[in-house]
């Protein structure tokens, strides 16, 4: 009597489990459907437009550039939302796109002729009221308008971690998710950014009053 071969399930592209506790997932599912995409994207736009704009403004320093980035980010989201696989929370995906588009815009601006008049004035968004950071003393300095100038003296990588940590209030793990790096790398970049900001702010506050910790 011949043996019966075991039955195997067809290995057809098994779906990754979606990450729990993502408040945007239901709306994102609607955004992936052609019939409900516009309405769902309108909801996501209302949820994220301020965050995207503020990230861009902190990285770029100009409201007109931040407005351009805001538009570009949501055009990309509209085109690519069907690719979101919930490997991370949707907010991290939005932040990642916002950071990348902002940095691309910054690189293009650096290659362009220097602007004239008051268009080069650096601006600051209003601070968020819901920040709950252990480094509270540091965050107070980062939320001052003139610190935008100190941010422009940082490298792109260091500026981004400062913006995400202190202005957007993201946890280390969330920043690592946005940037695609380890938590250790995030902490290392923050330490380097603290030291650089301390040097930049020393002429105004003195060497020990910048508020940024290096440990």
Distance of CA 156 to the CA centre of its chain: 13
Q: Which CATH number fits domain 127-215: 3.10.290.10, 1.10.10.10, 3.90.226.10, 3.40.50.150?
A: 1.10.10.10
Residue-level pLDDT at 110: 85
CB 66 within 8 A of CB 79: no
Nearest partner of 57 among 130, 128, 129, 136, judged by Cα: 128
CATH hierarchy code of domain 19-125: 1.10.1740.10
CATH 1.10.10.10 residue ranges for the chain: 127-215
Distances from the Cα of 121 to the Cαs of 57, 96, 117, 131, 145, in angstroms? 12, 26, 8, 26, 12
Q: How many CA atoms lie within 13 A of 112 on its CB side?
A: 10
- 109-167 pLDDT, tens digit per residue, is 888 776 555 444 455 454 444 433 334 444 444 445 567 778 888 999 999 999 999 98
CA nearest neighbour of 64 among 115, 107, 113, 100: 115
How much is the pLDDT for 91?
A: 96
Q: Give residue-wise pLDDT tens across range 9-28.
A: 444 444 545 555 899 999 99
Query: How far are the Cα atoms of 35, 158, 192, 199 from residue 185, in angstroms, in the given order?
Result: 42, 11, 11, 21
User: According to the model, what pLDDT value does residue 209 have?
Assistant: 43
174-189 tens-digit pLDDT:
999 999 999 999 999 9
Domain with CATH 1.10.1740.10 in the chain: 19-125
Residue 211: pLDDT over 70: no
Angle at 175 between CA 172 and CA 181, to 5 degrees: 100
- pLDDT beyond 90 at 204: no
- Report which of residues 214 and 89 the model is more confident about: 89
Is the CA virtual torsion 98, 58, 180, 129 positive or negative?
negative
- What's the token pair of residue 73? 């980010």
- How does residue 86 score in pLDDT terms, banded at 50, 70 and 90? confident
pLDDT digits (tens, 9 = 90+) for 33-78: 999 999 999 999 999 999 999 999 999 989 999 999 999 999 999 9
């Amino acid at each position: 009597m011949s043996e019966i071969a075991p039955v195997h399930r067809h290995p057809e592209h098994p779906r990754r489990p979606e990450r729990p506790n993502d408040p945007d997932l239901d709306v994102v599912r609607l955004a992936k459907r052609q019939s409900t995409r516009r309405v769902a994207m309108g909801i996501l736009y209302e949820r994220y437009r301020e965050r995207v704009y503020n990230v861009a403004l902190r990285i770029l320093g100009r409201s007109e550039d931040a407005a351009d980035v805001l538009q570009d980010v949501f055009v990309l989201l509209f085109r690519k939302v069907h690719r979101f696989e919930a490997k991370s929370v949707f907010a991290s995906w939005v932040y990642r796109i916002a950071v990348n588009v902002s940095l691309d815009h910054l690189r293009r601006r650096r290659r362009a002729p220097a602007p004239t008049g008051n268009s080069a004035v650096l601006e600051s968004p209003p601070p968020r009221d819901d920040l709950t950071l252990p480094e509270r003393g540091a965050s107070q300095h980062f939320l001052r308008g003139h610190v935008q100038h100190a941010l422009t003296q940082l490298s792109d990588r260091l500026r981004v971690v400062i913006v995400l940590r202190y202005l957007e209030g993201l946890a280390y793990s969330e920043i690592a998710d946005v940037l695609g790096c380890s938590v250790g790398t995030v902490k290392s970049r923050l330490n380097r950014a603290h030291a650089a900001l301390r040097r930049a702010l020393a002429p105004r506050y003195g060497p020990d009053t910048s508020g940024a910790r290096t440990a």
